[in-house]
């Protein structure tokens, strides 16, 4: 049985997090990942792209690709949240809509240790980002 690109990305992230050790190092790494996000244009910082349920400002852009995969891009006004977006994009961007819709994000976040490490406010924001991505993917899969 072949693993999906999402499972492979999760394995890579889990290995990276494990090498870092404590959560202080992991936070720094997550923030660094966020610095590498592709910038969104001013027009993409729109109400339409805004993710509801996040304490920080978060924008996500969903771009269906010709090969059936979905590309996601995102941005936030908070460093740690930008890093969380980068983690989520590593998991989902480039995957097929049906794989995204079927992926167990809660188990993935638990495996990465994010469930325990984040404040409840950040954890809820992360869930809102994932829910938005899965909703967009489900709509594309159904189309």
Positions marked catalytic: 54
Cα dihedral 53/55/57/59 (nearest 10):
-30
Residue 6 CA, distance from chain mean position: 11
Q: Position of tokens 């489900």?
A: 138
Q: Closest Cα partner for 105 from 97, 116, 96, 114?
A: 114
């Amino acid at each position: 049985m072949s693993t999906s690109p999402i499972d492979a990305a999760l394995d890579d992230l889990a290995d990276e997090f494990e090498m870092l050790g404590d959560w202080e190092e992991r936070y720094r790494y997550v923030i660094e990942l966020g610095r590498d996000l592709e910038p969104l244009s001013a027009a993409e910082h729109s109400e339409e792209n805004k993710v509801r349920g996040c304490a920080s400002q978060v924008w996500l852009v969903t771009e269906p690709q010709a090969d059936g995969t979905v590309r996601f891009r995102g941005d936030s006004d908070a460093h740690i949240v930008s890093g969380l977006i980068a983690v989520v994009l590593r998991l989902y961007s480039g995957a097929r809509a049906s794989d995204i819709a079927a992926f167990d994000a809660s188990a993935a976040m638990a495996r990465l240790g994010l469930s325990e490490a984040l404040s409840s406010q950040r954890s809820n924001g992360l869930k809102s980002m994932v829910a938005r991505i899965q909703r967009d993917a489900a709509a594309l899969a159904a189309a």
